[in-house]
Copies of this chain bind each other. A is one copy, B any other.
Amino acid sequence: MGGDAAAPERGRRILVAVDEGDESVQALRWCLSTFAPAARGDTVILLYVRPPPPTYSVLDASGYVFADDVTAAIDRYSREVADAVVEKAQKLCTLYGKEEGESDHEMKVEVKVAVGDARTVICHMADKLGADLLVMGSHGYGFFKRALLGSVSDYCLRNASCPVLVVKS
Contact = CB atoms under 8 A, between A and B. Distances in A.
A3 B95 contact: yes
Contacts of A1: 33, 37, 96, 99
A34 B5 contact: no
Contacts of A29: 2, 5
A33 B99 contact: no
Contact of A164 (B6, B36, B92, B165): B165
Contacts of A157: 138, 153, 157, 166
Given A163-B30, A163-B167, A165-B163, A96 B38 contact: no
A124 interface: no
23 contacts: A1-B33, A1-B37, A1-B99, A2-B29, A2-B36, A2-B92, A2-B95, A2-B96, A2-B99, A5-B29, A5-B30, A5-B32, A6-B33, A7-B34, A7-B37, A12-B34, A27-B163, A38-B40, A157-B157, A163-B166, A163-B167, A165-B165, A165-B166
Contacts of A133: 34, 165
Interface of A: 1-3, 5-7, 12, 27, 29-30, 32-34, 36-38, 40, 92, 95-96, 99, 133, 138, 153, 157, 163-168
A37 B92 CA distance: 24
Contacts of A30: 5, 163
Given A1-B33, A1-B99, A92-B2, A166 B164 contact: yes
A153 to B, nearest CB: 8
